[in-house]
Structure 1
Amino acid sequence: MHNCSNTCLLEMFRRRVKVVVTATLSLWLCCSSIALAQNKKSPPSEFPLNPLEITTPDPLLPTPNQLLSPQERQNLATALDQLNAQAQARLAAGDNRGAFEIWNRELRLRRALGTLAEVQALGRVGAIAWSENERTQVQIITQRLQTIQQQVQSQPTADLTLLRALGYAYQQVRSPQQALEVYNQILKLERQQNAATAESTLRTIAELHLSWFDYPQAAKSYQELLTLANSRGDRVGEVTYLQQLAYIYDRARQPQQALVVKQRLAELYLNDAQFTQVPALRLAIAADYQALGQIQQAFQNYQEAYASAWSLQQYARAGDALRQLIALYRTQGQVNEALQASQILLEADQRAANFYGLMNTYDQIGQIHLQNGNPTAALSAFEQGLAIAQQLQYQQSYFTQQIQQIQQNSTQ
């Protein structure tokens, strides 16, 4: 009887739990359905309406789809310029939000003046948004530019003026891939038309690749520009493009390619009697040879760099070449040659009034003498270095320590 009672009570408890769970589940499903319905009706606040897509009539343009007369276009353009000035004033006062609200209004209304006017305004405001770190605004403007690009590309005939404005606007909002896509389209059209502006567009493409550190593509574009300059005998252009290629190959750490370009550049400098350009270039060529492990050629070009700089009284440049030459001598175990070059370097530093360099050269001479087992000569060099260090009030303790160490060793 007792067992039956317990069984009955247990069964009643299970039924009540089932009822409660069922009711709770039904309530949750009902609430979820209501919530979903509400979400469908009203979008979340974190996704506001694109300010460039607002279609509410504006007092400056009550009938947006109506064609404007020349006078109406002029009046609207003047009013939009005034809006731009108001936005600039807001920005200068620190009210970024208010400024871009005005600019967005201006951009919406610029459409009435044609696609070209709108693109130019988008680029102008986009550049400001980028400089002010207004990322959302930059994204909004970039999206609008992409929409315009799609519309332009769907047209049977291309408008080069509009495409150039579009490419430049992409540059202003720092969208290099989109800009390159547009400029490559422009380049293709210009070449088909044999337009003289094709080289200018190719330069823009090369500069874009370079500014975004795409060295392989930048080199490809500048090589093409170099070929064009060679074909028409444009010596100035040839030098300019060789300089750019040398810079690119240096940055890309391609010494072999850099070497070829710099050798050609050195020939042009000598042929055009631009001798002042030669020492720095010889120094760079020597560094490329050294990077390639071609030590004898490196020695030769460091020496030529030093000699040409000295003859031109470019003593600071001569000092740079001598320092590299001395370092190379030391790595090759040529101590006597390093010391001889160091004596010349002392004179170069003196003529260049490079007192810090002079102090360091004495230190280097002292270190070479110590390695060569000549403490007396090392002591003399360190003492002369100390005298300069005291004048400069720099590294006196270092030279003093070197001198004391030699003196202590000599007394032991």
Structure 2
Amino acid sequence: MLQRLNLIVTTVMFLHLCIPLAMAENKKPEQLDKFPPSPLEITTPDPLIRGGLDKQPLTREEMQKLEISLDELNQQAVVTLQGGDKEKAFEIWNRELRLRRFLGLLAEVEALSRIGAIAWNENQRQEVKYITQRLQVIEKQILTQKSTDLELWRSLGDGYQKMRVPKLAVGVYQQILTLVRQQNDTNAELETLKTIGEIHLSWFDYSPAASTYQELLNLAQIKNDKLDEVAYLQQLVYIYEKAKQHQQGINVLNNLVSLYTDENNLTQVPSLKIAIASNYQSLSQENPNLLQAAFNNYQEAYTIAWQLQQYVTASEALQKLITLYRSQNQIDEALQTSQILLETEKLATNVYGLMQAYDQIGELYLERQDNSKALTAFQKGLELAQQLKHEEIYFTQKIDTLSKAKF
């Protein structure tokens, strides 16, 4: 009896060990590590689609009925998602997407884009992956077919943007760019280039963004469209500033200055000159010879702003100039410029700026070890601080320290 029991136990253990092995042997090696197929690729027959499509495609009437049914599925999925059942909602949407194929590529791509945006917002990464893969399959298909359907291409580009895959989106818009250029559609070319530029900028991809806006600038110059030319130059200024490409920034800023000067519109010039000077100042860290160009541009900015009675901008240029003098240990020049700053702040009726100017003058006299004049500057600063009810303790402490010191 005991021997028989042992035999049964041994047999059962043998079968448990052998059955999984046999199942593994029946599977092909590549199937063992294969992930489940995309729900968008399921080919199970659906009750909304009749059979025999290989012999007789859907009629227009059948397609209209199908579209109505799919819109109902979409609404059902929306309600389900609002009810909190994400998994069920995307099951419904995936069914809708499978069936949208029967309405043509454009209808499918538009649905993929719509549902993909929802998937992204709901952090459904796997769904985003499935939809992106399907968009790529469609792209390969229309590339093979050499499709010139701009509406389809644009919808595909929009889909990639909503899936946050900028490289794929830019690739599609480059295809669109080629098509519209072949058709000599200048307006469409401009819009497409703008879209490409915006995509690069939104992903902080500054180098290709600069190339794109340079193309737009060239087109504006060919058309002699000054308004667009200024807009694209301003965009390039922004790009080069973000990319810290100072020399390119200087070149573009100088182009803007020339443009405004030619138009006899100097309003923007002082601010542009300050930006040019700032770029030269950054470059001077590696090439000290460029420091003089920074000084010159700050001075030009102040002079033009003063002439235009832009006293706030003039003060900004003077303040940057003083800081630059101090960095070069040119204290006398900094003090002379500070006196001009005082007059400018008075004209700008900027009491706070005036208070800061006196503080700065006091510090400069301290650097020259001229405590008497430093004390006078801080006392004037205190008077303004008391008017503003701001920084009173700071100036009082400065004055007390100097008063106790021996001049």
Q: Same fold (TM over 0.5)?
A: yes
Residue 151 (structure 2) pairs with residue 161 (structure 1): yes
- Moved segments of 4+, more than 6 Å: 26-29, 38-41, 43-46
Q: 1:91 to 1:339 in 2, by over 3 A?
A: farther
Residue 298 (structure 2) pairs with residue 308 (structure 1): no
1:175 to 165, 170, 174: 165
TM-score, length-normalised on structure 1?
Answer: 0.81
1:133 to 113, 119, 123: 123
Give, in angstroms, the shift of residue 316 of structure 1. Answer: 3.1
Give, in angstroms, the shift of residue 389 of structure 1. Answer: 4.7
Asked whether the 8 Å contact 1:64–1:112 carries over to 2, the reply is: no
C-alpha distance in structure 2 between counterparts of 1:381 and 1:92, whole Å: 67
Residue 44 (structure 2) pairs with residue 53 (structure 1): no
C-alpha distance in structure 2 between counterparts of 1:332 and 1:107, whole Å: 67
C-alpha distance in structure 1 between counterparts of 2:52 and 2:235, whole Å: 49
Q: 1:82 to 1:317 in 2, by over 3 A?
A: farther
Instruction: Output the amino acid matched with 1:233.
Output: N
Alignment of 1:9-408 (within 5 A): 30=18, 33-34=21-22, 36=24, 47-63=35-51, 65=53, 67-92=57-82, 94-196=84-186, 197-293=188-284, 294-349=290-345, 356-389=352-385, 395-408=391-404
Give, in angstroms, the shift of residue 175 of structure 1. Answer: 0.8
C-alpha distance in structure 2 between counterparts of 1:206 and 1:49, whole Å: 36
Aligned residues: percent identity?
Answer: 53
TM-score, length-normalised on structure 2?
Answer: 0.82
Q: 1:153 to 1:301 in 2, by over 3 A?
A: same
Structure 1 residue ranges without an equivalent (≥5): 1-22
3-state SS, counterpart of residue 224 of structure 2: coil
3-state SS, counterpart of residue 406 of structure 1: helix
3-state SS, counterpart of residue 67 of structure 1: coil
Instruction: Output the amino acid matched with 1:371.
Output: E
Give, in angstroms, the shift of residue 367 of structure 1. Answer: 1.0
C-alpha distance in structure 2 between counterparts of 1:96 and 1:338, whole Å: 66
**CA offset digits 1:308-340 (Å, max 9, x no partner):** 334444433223212211111212333233223
Give, in angstroms, the shift of residue 272 of structure 1. Answer: 2.6
**Residue equivalent to 2:3:** none
Give, in angstroms, the shift of residue 115 of structure 1. Answer: 0.5
**Residue equivalent to 1:5:** none
3-state SS, counterpart of residue 276 of structure 1: coil
Give, in angstroms, the shift of residue 45 of structure 1. Answer: 12
Give, in angstroms, the shift of residue 64 of structure 1. Answer: 9.1
**Residue equivalent to 1:19:** none
Asked whether the 8 Å contact 1:329–1:335 carries over to 2, the reply is: yes
Query: 146-155 or 396-405, which moves further after superposition?
Result: 396-405
Structure 2 residue ranges without an equivalent (≥5): 1-10, 285-289
**CA offset digits 1:129-176 (Å, max 9, x no partner):** 223332222111101101111111111543232122212211121111
Asked whether the 8 Å contact 1:363–1:381 carries over to 2, the reply is: yes
C-alpha distance in structure 1 between counterparts of 2:44 and 2:119, whole Å: 24
C-alpha distance in structure 1 between counterparts of 2:27 and 2:387, whole Å: 78
Q: 1:79 to 1:30 in 2, by over 3 A?
A: closer
C-alpha distance in structure 1 between counterparts of 2:69 and 2:268, whole Å: 54
Asked whether the 8 Å contact 1:57–1:64 carries over to 2, the reply is: no
